[in-house]
Structure 1
Amino acid sequence: MRCYDYFGCNQTECPMYGKADGPQCWEIDGTLCHHHVIEEVRQELLGMEKKESCRLCGCLYYRAANPKQFD
């Protein structure tokens, strides 16, 4: 399952929309995530990878796709 399926997203202009394979949304800049806090954290903590900000912010899709990190 991909982020757009998980969230029922219909933002076709997002670079992740319709991508069945390849990198995940936390590896791509410029996505139109439903979780606005991700970009706010990245702006506050310059140099933080998007993946880490997704983890810190509790992105539901990131948590669902990486359950072992939250055991």
Structure 2
Amino acid sequence: MQNQGNQSLSAKEFAYISDSFKNEELLTKLCVQGAVECQTPSLKQTLVQLSQERLQNASVLTNALQQQSGITH
């Protein structure tokens, strides 16, 4: 997601990104918990992979919010 022509996020867009971030965080926690408790190696591997994907998505959302707000770190 890029800031097009210095346009700001609307309140609705910001709320959507915020909700998406919260959802990714919850999904990550659930996948990690499932991987820790899982006894089936293939399922454990799938849950670990899913948790990594969720973390990556959260990172993308965080970067988008930082770019929008001008925060550099």
Please, what TM-score do these two structures have when normalized by structure 1? 0.25
Bigger helix fraction: 2
Q: Which has the higher contact order (CA 8 A, sep 6+)?
A: 2
Please, what TM-score do these two structures have when normalized by structure 2? 0.25
Q: Higher Cα Rg: structure 1 or 2?
A: 2
